[in-house]
Structure 1
Amino acid sequence: MLMAVPIEHVIGLLLLLTAAGLLAGFLSGLLGIGGGGVLVPVLYEVFGIVGVPESVRMHLTLGTTLCVIAPTVLRSFMAFRARGTVDMQVVRRMGPWIFLGVALGVVIADRASSSLLRWVWVVFGTALAIKMALGRDDWRIADELPRPPRLEGAAFGIGTISTLMGIGGASFTVPLLTLYGRPLLQAVATATGLGPIIAIPGIIGYILSGWGEPGLPPLSLGYVNASALLIAPLGVFAAPFGVRVAHSIPKRALELAFAAFLACVALRFLVTLI
């Protein structure tokens, strides 16, 4: 049963969701990520405060986060494409395999426990934090993208893991493309073209898999909650500012800060599992 929340807590939660939405949108434009890395831990705590049962709390967090980031990554994609920095050939090559990976991710999430989904975040969130802390934009494996089926297999994996983490996939796509010779800005822009292919089918999957599930809060459509309606417009509003900054300043300091944030999130989820 959901607990009554005092008015001061409601105001605090609204302020927290507002800040998270703005930050998620800004990061979507700046780093090419969908903002899920920010929203997942915030929504997980928010849903815990209002009494969502642990058995559905992580599922609801992931589905709602994908609903928030869908319009954000679409806005970022449109902004980057208007500047001519999106490689649509890569989007067309990776897109179908991303979609298939999302389909598998939804099936796994439907059958997975909350603890398993948190373990996914612990493992891959830690890996992303290490990559952001230690990775360099000039690292190269080759100057050309890998031939089939290697790139397609990577896209499939990105779709699956991103769906299980509630993120837009750019945290994996951007380093993949830069390792194979694509300029950072082009990699970031191209990743925004793949984000909607993860978010939109993922939303549908989480709605269907959570349909009729007991313990969900009011205004939930399956594993997607209406709180997304508050956060999503804020993300859409902030995304172009991130794109503007991405074209003007180095991002190393922000990458290090985001790495520290991801490490804290992974540690928080680990604590809930011990």
Structure 2
Amino acid sequence: MQHILLGVLWAVCYVLALGYHLLLWSTGDVPSTTVALVYHVVVLTGYTALWFLLSSLFRYRHPVPGRVFWGMLLFGGLYVVLAYLAMQIPPAGIVGMAMDRDLPLAPSVPFKISLQALLKAGFAFVLLLRFRSLVLVKRTRSSQRNWNLMIGLMVVASLSGFMKSPREEVSLVQGLAIIPAVVLMVINAFRLSWIVSLSFRAKMATSAIAFLLLLLLLSLAGIDSGVEGFEAVPGATQALLYYSYPLAIFTGLAIYFGILYCTTAFLSLLFHLPTTSDFQRKAGEMAIMHSLSNLVGQV
């Protein structure tokens, strides 16, 4: 029942946000501050519902490191393809928003930016939630606290861009708000206890997949559309900024966390390769000792 309610709430907010942009196109007028405020609240409410919906769906999945990285690599590739196709909606290849007043230039533009927002936010949410299962393999109180604190600080950093124009770059205040979130991202990026128990072959395969995922995430990184650099889906970041500046910041931070986690995982997997045989030998010795203790107990 909870899943249905969250899904309905997200769908209603998504449709209302789409209707807002269609209204802007039909009237051609800049919205009042009150209307814009309501729009941003609706967007954030909808995507908060989507976060909790996905969080509940992924909460009880047992993490298999190789599958997590491989699944995210496939999902990331699917996102790039779908986002690229969405950018081909007329006017093709550009966002289609008036630079001076932030208004849609065509009736198809609201559908384009809404779809881009859904695709990128969905990918970023799933990325965080799948890596959460690896970070919290050992569900200690400190690890859970650090994870929840990181998400909270990411939300605070995102809200620093509330009601901000997409034409504006990241300000000093936003930069200062992002720093604490980045610190917690670095701390959580070193939660790699799942590496120790992997076999040599699994470590080799996972390290290769983590490296490929790292390259993919590097091509998707970006919060500020004014930053020069390669972008796998040209215009996706700008479209998300037009849709919701806070959502753009949150998804950008999520992808940056993915970059950090893939980097630490890749390097740690390489460094642990020489110790794999030692760990397996000790695990075998412990299994033998456990079997002997059971036999002695039976006698």
TM-score, normalised to structure 1, is 0.30
TM-score, normalised to structure 2, is 0.28
Higher relative contact order, structure no. (Cα contacts within 8 Å, ≥ 6 residues apart): 1
